[in-house]
Chain A
């Protein structure tokens, strides 16, 4: 129960901080909007020359673009601020303040910093998904939504586990390397379906930096192209990744000696 209270507190703190800068919110909305329009324009140019891109039709790729923005919004809201903060505090030795609190360290470290404003990207992504699939039967409906949420959830857990594992290496290699930038670079490749890439890159984007699981796979579920078997496999993979990372995190914590210890 306390865990939930902490999450709500984080959200409220973020909201209060950001309501003070409403003009910024409009500027960021405009910025994301322009980014979306640019990619839509690019797709429009490409589809003037072809009917499908690696088997994906235009409205399907637009749906995937929507999922892309849903995901980048979620990453920017909850994932990247916390990961960056963990790395900074390990390097500065101030992680002690986190470890001394009477709550699971990994949980609190993962939810304490929230940037609510990035949910505008998620919102725009949802709009894009809804608009692109408006004439697709079966894409809107309880079963489809459930499949999508499960696929997206599994993907986000896999990405979170991967990122936290990378951040945990900071306990051994304290020097800050800008890991976040590498993740964003891989995520950028997820702007289009991973099917357009050669097989070795598709493998890398699925199992090395798991971008495919977080963008392409949920998009396929929206289009009815994800079997229940695949979905189950993704969920199992998410569970395994989470367990492995939690174990690795505890190993890293044992290694940690703070500024005062």
Chain B
């Protein structure tokens, strides 16, 4: 454990320096995080046309999607795209020779990316907040309550995304499987719209499925519509899905690495 923690300062330094070199590309890529929620907001604004849908008016939709933009950035991970390439090109092999698990490198890159992009994204978010004038029935205690939810969400999403990514150990068709995972996340993870506006069966499925607890649960907390009990229950469910994600990660990794054979392995 000390081994691993001792490696992190170097891992983070390398990740930071590497990404700083490609900052233009990073920024262009980060724009996706703005595009999807903004399009969804435009759709729901046009759909509501001034009316209230499931308790959401224009400004609350704006609040929801702007929060989703911010928390989406803070919980995102991209290993599903990269891991397949690592496996197929054999570039995973040298990483297996290190005395720490290969997963720590992507964690370092993930954290560095999120922090680095804040420099560019935070002003954009501020402008969007000023432009859309979002509003929600938030109370003061919702903000500190959202912090553990956010950290748990980021960790849960990272692990689950990594598990999906590890399917690359067995097939080259990871993109198709990833598309399925992403599609389900759109509905059950509150990306298309708040779970409250979804039809009943989606809402019920989404209430307990892991997707909600990977990104949108902190958003719901800050939106101020959850009671204290619901927040606590939600945090407990997050811990549950985080645990499941970790177990799944360990199991899939052990199975996958056993049959990994590539250049240098």
* Contacting residues of chain A (165-213) with chain B, CB-CB under 8 angstroms: 175, 177-178, 181-182, 185, 188-189, 191-192, 195-198
Cα(A199)–Cα(B179), bound, Å: 33
A174: min CB distance to chain B, Å: 13
Provide the residues of chain B in CB contact with A38, threshold 8 Å: 183, 186-187
Provide the residues of chain B in CB contact with A49, threshold 8 Å: 47-48, 53-54, 197
Cα(A77)–Cα(B72), bound, Å: 31
Does A100 lie at the interface of the complex (its beta carbon under 8 Å from any beta carbon of B)?
Answer: no
Residue of A nearest to B44 (CB): A46
Stretch at the interface among B24-32, B87-95, B100-108: B24-32
Provide the residues of chain A in CB contact with B35, threshold 8 Å: 185, 188-189
Provide the residues of chain A in CB contact with B175, threshold 8 Å: 27-28, 31
Structural contact, A188 and B186, CB atoms closer than 8 A: no
Residue of A nearest to B46 (CB): A196
Count the B residues whose beta carbon is within 8 Å of the partner chain — how many? 34
Residue of B nearest to A35 (CB): B179
B42 partner, pick from A41, A177, A185, A192, beta carbons under 8 A: A192
B186 partner, pick from A42, A47, A178, A182, beta carbons under 8 A: A42
Structural contact, A48 and B199, CB atoms closer than 8 A: yes
Provide the residues of chain A in CB contact with B32, threshold 8 Å: 181, 185
Provide the residues of chain B in CB contact with A259, threshold 8 Å: none
Residues of A bordering B, CB below 8 Å? 23-24, 27-28, 30-31, 34-35, 37-38, 41-42, 45-50, 53-54, 175, 177-178, 181-182, 185, 188-189, 191-192, 195-198
Known: A31-B179, A182-B31. 10 other contacts (CB 8 A): A24-B173, A41-B186, A41-B192, A49-B47, A53-B43, A53-B46, A181-B29, A192-B39, A195-B46, A197-B42
A-B contact pairs, 11 of them (CB 8 A): A23-B173, A30-B176, A49-B47, A53-B46, A175-B24, A177-B28, A178-B24, A178-B29, A181-B31, A185-B31, A189-B35
